[in-house]
Amino acid sequence: MLLLLALHAVTAPLLPAGARRLGDRVWYAAALVPLLTLAWSAYHTAGVLDGRPPEEDLPWAGTLGLAVDLRLDALSLLMLWIVTGVGVAVLLYARHYTAHDHGREAALMLAFAGAMTGLVLADNLFLLYVFWEATTVVSFLLIAGRGARGERRAAAFRALLVTTTGGLAMLLGFVLLGRAAGTYRISSLVADPPSGGTTSAAVVLVLVGVLAKSAQMPLHGWLPAAMVAPTPVSAYLHAAAMVKAGVYLVARLAPGFADSPPWRPVLLTAALVSLLLAAWRALRETDLKRLLAYGTISELGLLLALFGAGNRTAALAGATFLAAHAAFKSTLFLTVGVIDHQTGTRTIGELSGLARRMPLLFATAALAAASMAGLPPLAGYVAKEAALEAFLPGSHGTTWPLPAVAAGAALTVAYTARFLRGAFGGRAAEGTGRHTDRPAPGFVAPATALAAAGLALGIGCAGLGAVAQVYADELPEHRPHPYELALWHGWTPALGLSALTLAAGLALYAALTVHRGPAPPGTPYTDRVHARLRGGLDAAALWFTGRTQVGSLPVYLTVLLLTVAAVVGTAAAVLPQPLGPLHWTSSAVEVPVAAGALAATVAMLRTRHRLTGTLLVGAVGYAVAVLFLLRGAPDLALTQFLVETMTLVVIVLVLRRMPPRFTPARSAWPARVARAVAAGSLGCLVAVLALVTTSAPHLPSVSGGYAALAPETGAGNLVNAIVVDFRALDTLGESAVLLVTAIGVVSLVRVWTRGVPDAPEHAPRPRAAPPVAHWDEPTGKWLPGADERPGEERSVLLEVVTRLLFPSALVLSLFLLFSGHSRPGGGFAGGLVASQAFVLRYLVGGRAGLGAALPVGSGTVAGTGFALCSATALLPVLAGAPPLTSVTVHTHLPVLGAVEFATSLFFDVGVYVLVVGVTLKLLSAVGVSLGRAPAEQSGARP
């Protein structure tokens, strides 16, 4: 199972490159992956039916309940057949439908197939949530398209907003369920479900996510809006797979939580309301895809009602209808795609005579529509009869939904007839003159295959029932004799009710067509509500932002400091810690260092020059580094020193764009007093907390025995062992944050500088001094790229020093990198040293000098570093070990002799490369052009 997911993850990114050589045949390559998954699931069918479901477990972070737990049981097998079977058909269909950008679309469709495969195989709540949100993200990309605007982008954002909000509620429910049950494994949770008020609240939160994902009223508006997406997307995501994720989750949790107090009232009410109202809305639509979309909402309501009923017969009907719906609804969507592709429209009233012009397509659509209406011998009929049987009074189960289910079945027949008549009815002579080409057989074949699958599932319902019954047997049976799937049960009440709904549906359609005609669709009420809510939310956000984001950094900082002081101070007052002897200092040397830091702080508050203030802040940082060193923390001291140096360099470069003096204070004295109180309060609080933590020996250590375990990692440096071994997951997350920060800064700078013409880096300026003042201008080429600067901007001293220091700094950075596991250093410190070497080259030669020193783009460097960190974290999985597992390797090299290193070194190398790339990216984003004078850049006087 892990290999199948890896196959999806590896193949999808390769498809855009493959499309350059294969063209539209890249869809065949994409279809191979779900086809292999389908074959794998077929191979394991016998084991699933015999009660031997395949399972795979991969520990991740056990203390957090995070693990890659995969399981293929009967329900997962059924959903996997749907995901892969429909997926193969849609991918083959897309080759004929998609006109351009084959690589991107195929990659996203395959990525979605992989996410759905992971979702149905997941046996861990958090893992299921990860795949759940992955389907949301990929769906957004597929709906929005590349560079699309207008309706597609708006529909994509609407779907993202609704499903993500529901997903967040569901995540909170998962956390509550896992905490209440003591496990996040789904199979264990269902086998021994918790109870109580917390569980009830968790169930409601999970159902909110289900209703949003499965487009149930009132959270349904995103699905009809998403019909602006290409037909393959609608057929796969919005008919067969994504919208069924919520149905699948209900079916998965029903055996354990169907008796939870809020389960049936919340689920059945929303489902049955959606069943009826969406079906009625489908009768008013003139767009064939939107008609099918509202029909899908109605049918998803029926599925949720069946699985939510909590009895065996309803679950059996639900599992059968799950497969039948995937077959007939994806067929009908593909049919509409062919019509739209060949005629240029899918609007009822603009189509006529297609039954004669496209007989194969009509036969395909008629077969699928018959299944949707519940006609024998198709799978839809088998599922419909089972659904009616599940709610009949004689079943001794939940019976009150029966009228709604029967009415929904009649409405389904009515909009099915409307679909067939609107798409294929009329005479060819009544057409609007649109040119219609008969579609290629390969274009119609996938839809025909899915329609035939619906027929096969109906005739061979015993085979489908064998799988469905394994799942349904997990729920209680309220009938004296277990219900079995069959085409003929004799003359039963369910058969009579089925015939009655068929007649009622046809009569309803005839009445609407003959007497009144279909009402114009207008703007749905929920769309108007959504527009008003979004407008109100935007207005409220604008009002709140206008009163809180005033553009004053001192105000922001004051609020932040006061909040921190209030929260932490309150916690310290409520939970006081007994103090031991206060340790003010460990050596006399610390006193002058601390006094120097205090003096620099006071001087910084008094100065009015930006550069002076920056240097004084740096002096405080260096003093703190010295205190770290005196306290026996060389790693912290080294990191603090390097960070302060890099910060000083960047700030000095930024200051070139700003006036030399601080802006005179214009605020009144109450504001200055408030800022002083905020700063003083937080400073005193930090000082008190520092004394408490250093003078309370009874407090437990946060190291967790790392010192005793460090030798097992082969590390002689405990700090580095914590960073790349014990807390490597934290380091990986911080690396991602660092990369995202760089991307954010670059994006902001690009927005700020959009439309501003770039001045030449070395624009000539008139000399303010006589030529004799420039006697030290270099005439030789000391460094590559430096000679491209104007002579008056070059310094022979700086170039010579840089030529000496640059290679030395790089060697030092490599030494810190490779020795960090045994002595102070590591990838972060080494990366900072290397970054400062490149910054020095930038100061000397500008962008040309930096390009000569590092011909690779900074973004590529940063991405490579993060990729190396991620690969090092995940590669142990291939060996069956948990992620981030590190081993010590002993080898012998020809020159170096015996060498011992830990595989976590590669993780450290990734951090090193990432830090270099991010630093250079941030440096370039600052946009400092050394060829422009400060006055030219800011308009300030020198």
- Assess whether pLDDT exceeds 60 at residue 18: yes
* Beta strands in 114-273, from DSSP E residues, in sequence order: none
- Assess whether pLDDT exceeds 70 at residue 392: yes
Q: Hey, which of 522-531, 704-713, 766-775, 777-786 has the most confident mean pLDDT?
A: 704-713
Q: What is the pLDDT of residues 646-681, one digit of tens each?
A: 888 878 877 777 788 877 666 667 777 777 887 787
Q: Rounded CA gap, 89 and 938, in Å?
A: 61
708, 720, 911, 909: which is closest to 823 by C-alpha? 720
Peptide bond into 218 cis (omega under 30): yes
What is the β-pairing status of strands 66-71 and 888-893?
unpaired
CA dihedral 565, 568, 570, 571 (to 10 degrees): 180
User: Token pair of 133, please?
Assistant: 């949100």
Radius of gyration of the chain (CA): 34
pLDDT value for 304: 94
Better-predicted residue by pLDDT, 433 or 697: 697
Per DSSP, the three-state class of 58 is strand
Better-predicted residue by pLDDT, 169 or 685: 169
CA-CA distances (angstroms) from residue 630 to 587, 593, 624?
8, 10, 10
pLDDT value for 938: 39
Mean pLDDT of 324-349: 90
Give me the amino acid identity at 753.
T
Q: Rounded CA gap, 241 and 82, in Å?
A: 7
Residue 107 neighbours by CB under 8 Å, 6+ apart = 12, 13, 15, 16, 30
Q: Rounded CA gap, 216 and 267, in Å?
A: 10
pLDDT above 70 as % of the chain: 86
- Assess whether pLDDT exceeds 50 at residue 941: no
Angle at 280 between CA 274 and CA 286, to 5 degrees: 120
User: Token pair of 638, please?
Assistant: 């080294």
pTM over 0.85: no
pLDDT value for 937: 41
Mean pLDDT of 443-469: 91
- 8 Å CB contact between 209 and 166: yes
Per DSSP, the three-state class of 426 is coil
Scanning the structure block, which residue is given the tokens 């393959």?
232
398, 333, 410: which is closest to 374 by C-alpha? 410
pLDDT value for 764: 46
pLDDT value for 792: 53
**What is the DSSP secondary structure assignment for residue 344, as one 8-state letter?**
S
pLDDT value for 934: 42
User: Token pair of 529, please?
Assistant: 């509500």
Mean pLDDT of 698-726: 73
The 3 state secondary structure assigned to 587-630 is CCCHHHHHHHHHHHHHHHHHCCEHHHHHHHHHHHHHHHHHHHHH
- 8 Å CB contact between 228 and 143: yes
User: Looking at 189-193, 251-255, 450-454, 545-549, which range is the least confident one?
Assistant: 545-549
| Confidence label for 383 from pLDDT (cuts 50, 70 and 90) | very high
User: Looking at 347-356, 374-383, 575-584, 931-940, which range is the least confident one?
Assistant: 931-940
Q: Rounded CA gap, 381 and 403, in Å?
A: 18
Mean pLDDT of 238-260: 90
Q: What is the pLDDT of residues 294-324, one digit of tens each?
A: 999 999 999 999 999 888 889 999 999 999 9
- Assess whether pLDDT exceeds 70 at residue 503: yes
Per DSSP, the three-state class of 928 is coil
User: Looking at 552-561, 580-589, 750-759, which range is the least confident one?
Assistant: 750-759
DSSP codes of every residue in 367-423: HHHHHHHT-TTSHHHHHHHHHHHHHSGGGSS--TTHHHHHHHHHHHHHHHHHHHHHH
**What is the DSSP secondary structure assignment for residue 882, as one 8-state letter?**
P
Q: Hey, which of 59-73, 117-131, 921-935 has the most confident mean pLDDT?
A: 117-131
Scanning the structure block, which residue is given the tokens 């049919």?
335
* Beta strands in 136-259, from DSSP E residues, in sequence order: none
Q: What are phi and psi of 406, to 5 degrees?
A: -65, -45
Q: What is the pLDDT of residues 27-50, one digit of tens each?
A: 999 999 999 999 999 999 999 998
User: Looking at 181-190, 259-268, 431-440, 836-845, which range is the least confident one?
Assistant: 431-440
Per DSSP, the three-state class of 55 is strand
DSSP codes of every residue in 205-220: HHHHHHHHHTT-TTS-
- Assess whether pLDDT exceeds 50 at residue 936: no
Q: Where are the alpha helices (DSSP H) in 50-150?
A: 74-97, 102-121, 125-144
User: Token pair of 892, please?
Assistant: 């012998």
- Assess whether pLDDT exceeds 70 at residue 713: yes
Residue 251 CA to chain centroid, in angstroms? 24
Q: At what angle do helices 288-308 and 312-343 cross, to 10 degrees?
A: 170
386 burial class (0-12, 13-18, 19+ CB within 10 angstroms)? buried
Mean pLDDT of 89-97: 91
Per DSSP, the three-state class of 897 is strand
902, 885, 782, 765: which is closest to 840 by C-alpha? 782
User: Token pair of 757, please?
Assistant: 């013409």
